[in-house]
Amino acid sequence: MRFLKSLLVIFTLVGSAPVLLAVTGDTVSSIPCPYNYPQGLSFDGEYLWNVDRKTDMIYKIDPADGKLLDSLKAPGYNPRGLAWDGQKLWLVDAEENLIFGINPKTRITENTIYCPVSKPYGLTFDGTYLWVADDGGDELHRIDRADGTTIKSLKAPTSHPWGLAFDGTYLWVSDRYSDKIYQMTVDGTVINFFDSPGKHTCDLAWDGKFLWNADYQSDRIFKIKIRDVGLFSHGEERRQNLNFIFEARNFGPDSVKTLDIYLAVPVNMNNQELLGEPQFTPAPTEIITDRWGQKVAHYRFTDLPASETREVSMTVDAVLYQTNYFIFPDKVGTLADIPKDTLDKYLVDDSKYSMSDPIIQDGVKKAVGDEKNAFWIARKIFNYVINQVEYELAGGWNLAPTVLDRGTGSCSEYSFVYISMCRAAGLPARYVGAVTVRGDDASADDVFHRWVEVYLPGYGWITVDPSGGDSEWPSGQAKYFGCLDNRYLITTSGGGGSEYLEWGYNANARWTSKGRCKLVVEYYGEWSPLEKESE
């Protein structure tokens, strides 16, 4: 159980420690199920109803204390999802492939319609139509109560949708195998998701303020917070040591006159907590700040003869968090609500963006249309980019119009396209760059990763990774909009070309030479796991 266990986080200033608050997905309380094979769940405006597969009974429950108030026999032999339409309970039966409309007062089954799916589970009512979750076809179907005609079909967030609820605007879908609960639009876009309270999640119900979830493993019904004060959660953490190494070797035959090495200096952010100040070997010449506010360790070397190497390193101990932002579109303002200084700084054009290019302008028109909500502007551009571009690591960082027209790009090129389109649409955007844990906690990284942050009024800077969002599943797309894995130590935040890092991130180097010189630079991160502090 997760009784306020998942304390979560509000946005903080870069460089400060996160502030923990209760968050969407936290469990308020729980009550016992009437029996030990709970399936369908619904709320009638005052009471919960829960159907049990083993007893084939439908139970009326007081949500305050779990007291059993009434029970009635299910009309089928394999009852699954349960819904309330204001007058009747609707029950889907997996063996009969029928949906029954039951009057709980008379206990009479007044309606029987065919179920359009072969493996039904969850059931809910949206005010006009029923929705049924199809575990066999990985879809959600909106159906007519009169005869079961399918009005609309959506791809489910994941491959095993078992529970459904409707809150008046959004569908809530629980997945049995991932044990997650998803919030999605009736058009199929996943907005938010979180871990279910139990390990065998079944059906869902909405009471107007809280989400309820029946769990088979624990035989309990959980009351779950939605829209709490915390804006994002910290899930699984990694405690890591990073040794970031930069080497420059002069293969000659002549000498390098000056060599400037720049290392981006990480700070505390919402996804990461530094366990001390970064340590440098040797000490840098100076710590400087670029025009985007990025701290940089600067080294200056002179007169590097042939066959000599200069090596510098930065060591960081940090806790990296699985970070999941909870963004509700109706709480996100318009572009007019964004602070002027943010607009002035992060709407400017730059060489990689080429915002005025017809390819970018046309893409923005197609993606955004007349949308005014900042969240949907960002999400529609995200959808457009992942539909138009495929990932390809081919070397080089081309301009955003070239990448969009070509249809392939690296993570940096995806970022340039997404930033260009967001800024052209009036939405501030910037990039962040990181060293990445590649598989094992003890590993090395010389590829690195870059993605985007967009500014959403009412929330602040939100992580968006368009290069990772090309998934067939709505949940896979949502994982890269407002979510960040615990594999990344962000070193760099920038709005465009930097006077020190240029268009790079993590590190950069410049040099001058006299005569013929071949200077080869290499930089990479070596990861080692840290022991977890004893509680």
Q: pLDDT tens digits, residue range 64-74?
A: 999 999 999 99
Q: Is the pLDDT of residue 472 over 90?
A: no
Q: Which amino acid makes up residue 125?
A: F
What is the structure's pLDDT at 431?
A: 98
More confident residue, 392 or 499: 499
Q: Which two tokens stand for residue 424?
A: 């052209």
What is the structure's pLDDT at 1?
A: 36
Name the pLDDT band for 24 (thresholds 50, 70, 90): very high
Q: pLDDT tens digits, residue range 132-160?
A: 999 989 999 999 999 999 999 999 999 99
pTM of the complete model = 0.92
Q: Which of 332, 331, 345, 329 is nearest to 292 (CA)?
A: 345
What is the structure's pLDDT at 227?
A: 86
What is the structure's pLDDT at 2?
A: 34
More confident residue, 535 or 145: 145
Name the pLDDT band for 31 (thresholds 50, 70, 90): very high
CA distance 223 to 48: 11
Q: Which of 220, 185, 225, 184 is nearest to 202 (CA)?
A: 220
Q: Is the pLDDT of residue 5 over 50?
A: no
CA distance 446 to 439: 13
Q: Which two tokens stand for residue 119?
A: 């493996």
Residues 6+ apart with CB under 8 A from 528: 240, 241, 243, 441, 442
Q: Is the pLDDT of residue 231 over 50?
A: yes
What is the structure's pLDDT at 15?
A: 52
More confident residue, 13 or 76: 76
Q: Omega of the bond prior to 253 within 30 degrees of 0, cis?
A: yes
Q: Omega of the bond prior to 282 within 30 degrees of 0, cis?
A: yes
What is the structure's pLDDT at 392?
A: 87
Name the pLDDT band for 37 (thresholds 50, 70, 90): very high
The number of angstroms, rounded, from the C-alpha of 371 to the middle of its chain's C-alpha atoms is 22
Give all domains of the chain, ordered by start, each with its CATH number.
Answer: 27-224 (2.130.10.10), 235-319+501-529 (2.60.40.2250), 328-440+448-481 (3.10.620.30)
Helix, strand, coil tally for the chain in percent (to 5): 15, 50, 40
Q: Is the pLDDT of residue 13 over 50?
A: no
**3-class DSSP state of 362:** helix
Q: Is the pLDDT of residue 534 over 80?
A: no
Whether residue 475 contacts residue 483, with contact meaning beta carbons closer than 8 Å, is answered with no
Q: pLDDT tens digits, residue range 261-308?
A: 999 999 999 999 999 999 999 999 999 999 999 999 999 999 999 999
Name the pLDDT band for 12 (thresholds 50, 70, 90): very low
User: Where is 105: in which H helix or E strand?
Assistant: none
Calculate what percentage of the chain has a pLDDT beyond 70.
96
Name the pLDDT band for 521 (thresholds 50, 70, 90): very high
Whether residue 112 contacts residue 99, with contact meaning beta carbons closer than 8 Å, is answered with yes
User: Where is 364: in which H helix or E strand?
Assistant: helix 358-368
CA distance 195 to 200: 11
Burial (CB count <10 Å: 0-12, 13-18, 19+), residue 155: middle
Q: pLDDT tens digits, residue range 339-358?
A: 999 999 999 999 999 999 99
Sheet holding 180-184, edge to edge: 161-166, 171-175, 180-184, 190-195
- Pick the range with the lowest mean pLDDT from 26-40, 204-218, 521-535: 521-535
CA distance 42 to 191: 22
What is the structure's pLDDT at 14?
A: 45
Q: pLDDT tens digits, residue range 355-410?
A: 999 999 999 999 999 999 999 999 999 999 999 999 988 777 999 999 999 999 99
CA distance 518 to 23: 55
What is the structure's pLDDT at 4?
A: 33
Quick one: CA dihedral 495, 369, 334, 22, positive or negative? Answer: negative
What is the structure's pLDDT at 470?
A: 82
CA distance 355 to 358: 8
Q: Is the pLDDT of residue 113 over 90?
A: yes
Rounded mean pLDDT, 122-138: 95
Residues 6+ apart with CB under 8 A from 113: 98, 99, 101, 143, 145, 146, 147, 148
Q: Is the pLDDT of residue 7 over 90?
A: no
Residues 6+ apart with CB under 8 A from 229: 10, 21, 22, 23
Rounded mean pLDDT, 188-204: 95
Q: Which two tokens stand for residue 179?
A: 């044990």
Q: pLDDT tens digits, residue range 152-194?
A: 999 999 999 999 999 999 999 999 888 999 999 999 999 999 9
What is the structure's pLDDT at 393?
A: 80
Name the pLDDT band for 22 (thresholds 50, 70, 90): confident
**Local structure of residue 336 (DSSP, 8 states):** G
